[in-house]
Structure 1
């Protein structure tokens, strides 16, 4: 093995070339050896260590591909899609070409600083960090690294973030919204969202088989994945449920069923809002926006521009303000009681009234 004489210092040095953590070819020198033999021995050991690392190493991009392949049989397609999009946009450009066993705590902390600079919401920043941490945890399970460096790093977040206000329609607001709807199917669709609290993806997946007119029960056991355009066999959080359908929309749903039953080829596998395909998310979103604009253009008092998911919040607000407790609401939404209390605590008037009485 070659070693080189440092004529100025009268000592020997070794020159070693290898690929760094990003696969870039670099050369480093180690000086100060008293003999040529010591410089050669150092070079020999260093090259052996580098070659050993290279045999066991994999870049993060390749690790993530293995991780997604592993998750495909254990996670919903929509989740896989979201992981892939987030990784490609937020993680791969910074760390994708780095060898996994070269990712250290300082590298993760530097990555977190870059994430914070982007000004994302804390919820989105947490998702980015979770995907990276989970991917590295997978490499530990596959014996590629001994420890996950992310286990020794706390998540970062923007402590100055202002939490967005949860929007919802009161019954009065909703009546105003409905007053400008000219399409009967659209009217029934939004009424169903408002009075059942279903997610839009749950409403899209409902077929006539799910609705029992006699018992007034609606089974919610599936979800429409709008990204992959497929029906999944469970709801978003995996909590299937049966909910009661109020009479104010049941009669209209029954009238719609009778109308659909006159169409050739109709059967109970057809979607309630749609035919043999669910109504597109974009169709509902555009209709909602159009009716809000129409009302606000026609009236001095305006109604807020809410999201489709805010119809679910509106349902919770109605229930909470009419005496339903967190347990009842959790069963109807398919959430845990704790999650309902945490998310919607501000909507329970009896708690505010209790505090007023307590404080005087």
Structure 2
């Protein structure tokens, strides 16, 4: 029944990892590990665990709170995920779990409390995707508790995820521009650039053109350098995040599939060539200049402001910058491009993600399918 000293200290106290061995009800040998601070506390915890084991012959449920569990979980995830992903986890937990569940001890946590938590969040007007993200973060946290033998099972699984509300039409889920609407939008952008004629203003024109013709993510476009363009091929190799306490972070793309090479359509290639010549007027120009921002990048807030202004001037409904990905995908789907190519261009981790988003745009072929079967006699 060993006690291990770790490299962590808190409020001057040394952290210890206490481990015991036990045999569960099925006869399987298992280990149980707990974290505490202070040598005396570690010995006391070991005695309590051994006592609990000898009485129950099964893993005792931890009396730590969810807040304490998350503090440990955060340290673990810090060594496993990117800084941007860790920040997103922290934001989601602080927004959805901390205010309602952090003071509850694991040995007191039950499905009724978790259902109440779901009900509270459901009444706050969050979008379904946001609610499901919150659920996913709490599920991962409690799965960690199970992995560490703090809980025998994850009680959240019995409650289930947030469900999709009814939409009048599937199209209500997506917002995008048609090709004609995009041309109207981008003509306004170009006109404003011609009037102001600054390198920064032209950067916004290039940004939204790339968004339409490639479907790339905002961070991917902002991170593009001229060295990422070879001939008529655009290589997506990195992303920029502006969400960590105002700090700009350049990271690898979102997932393995997000590393991709896209052939550049001729209209976009012409615009890129023209913009590169503008930037080359700077005597310090190098191939490491950002395609849109030059020596810097285009701030998220400024992109959003420009996007809203352009839509208003074009007398079009405002769509988010992320919706230019939907615009790109929808245009190609309507032209008959298969789902695998759509997924590749968007950098989705799997085709299922693409299908769940865009399946309703593909025409039903029930009549043709039945016609084929009718001829088999």
TM bucket, shorter chain? 0.7 to 0.9
Report if the CA contact (8 A) 1:223-1:236 is conserved: no
Q: Secondary structure at the match of 1:230?
A: strand
Q: Secondary structure at the match of 2:240?
A: strand
Change (3 A) 1:268 1:286: same
Between the aligned partners of 2:184 and 2:158, the Cα distance in structure 1 is 53
Q: Tell me which of 234, 244, 251 is aligned to 2:263.
A: 244
1:188 lines up with 2:212 in the alignment: no
Report if the CA contact (8 A) 2:311-2:318 is conserved: yes
Structure 1 vs Structure 2 CA RMSD:
2.7
Between structure 1 and structure 2, the one with the greater Rg is 1
Q: Secondary structure at the match of 1:219?
A: strand
Between the aligned partners of 1:327 and 1:161, the Cα distance in structure 2 is 26
Deviation, 1:78, is 2.2
Report if the CA contact (8 A) 1:217-1:243 is conserved: yes
Q: Secondary structure at the match of 1:218?
A: strand
Q: Secondary structure at the match of 1:144?
A: coil
Q: Secondary structure at the match of 1:226?
A: strand
Q: Secondary structure at the match of 2:118?
A: helix
Could you tell me which residue of structure 2 aligns to residue 205 of structure 1? 223
Between the aligned partners of 1:285 and 1:212, the Cα distance in structure 2 is 29
Deviation, 1:259, is 2.5
Q: Secondary structure at the match of 1:271?
A: coil
1:347 lines up with 2:361 in the alignment: yes
Change (3 A) 1:109 1:167: closer
Change (3 A) 1:160 1:246: closer
Between the aligned partners of 1:239 and 1:180, the Cα distance in structure 2 is 31
Report if the CA contact (8 A) 1:189-1:273 is conserved: yes
Report if the CA contact (8 A) 2:128-2:164 is conserved: yes
Q: Secondary structure at the match of 1:243?
A: strand
Could you tell me which residue of structure 2 aligns to residue 227 of structure 1? 243
Change (3 A) 1:306 1:128: same
Report if the CA contact (8 A) 1:125-1:157 is conserved: no
Report if the CA contact (8 A) 1:321-1:347 is conserved: yes
Consecutive unaligned residues in structure 2, runs of 5 or more: 1-50, 194-201, 372-377
Report if the CA contact (8 A) 1:121-1:161 is conserved: no
Cα deviation 1:117-172 (Å, max 9, x = unaligned): 32333222222222222112212222223332223332243645667431221221
1:37-48 equivalences under 5 Å are: none
Report if the CA contact (8 A) 2:214-2:328 is conserved: yes
Deviation, 1:261, is 2.3
Worse overlay, 309-318 or 203-212: 309-318
Cα deviation 1:302-348 (Å, max 9, x = unaligned): x2211111111111122122231112222211223333232112333
Could you tell me which residue of structure 1 aligns to residue 282 of structure 2? 263
Report if the CA contact (8 A) 1:220-1:235 is conserved: no
1:306 lines up with 2:306 in the alignment: no
Between the aligned partners of 1:338 and 1:145, the Cα distance in structure 2 is 32
Between the aligned partners of 1:328 and 1:70, the Cα distance in structure 2 is 37
TM-score, length basis structure 2: 0.72
Change (3 A) 1:237 1:92: farther
Q: Secondary structure at the match of 2:314?
A: helix
Change (3 A) 1:150 1:253: same
1:171 lines up with 2:204 in the alignment: no
TM-score, length basis structure 1: 0.75
Between the aligned partners of 1:123 and 1:205, the Cα distance in structure 2 is 26
Between the aligned partners of 2:229 and 2:284, the Cα distance in structure 1 is 19
Between the aligned partners of 1:95 and 1:124, the Cα distance in structure 2 is 18
Deviation, 1:291, is 1.2
Between the aligned partners of 2:161 and 2:323, the Cα distance in structure 1 is 29
Could you tell me which residue of structure 2 aligns to residue 138 of structure 1? 144
Deviation, 1:110, is 2.5
Q: Tell me which of 300, 303, 316 is aligned to 2:329.
A: 316
Cα deviation 1:63-84 (Å, max 9, x = unaligned): 1121111112222322222221
Deviation, 1:54, is 11
Consecutive unaligned residues in structure 1, runs of 5 or more: 1-47, 297-302
Q: Tell me which of 80, 105, 108 is aligned to 1:74.
A: 80
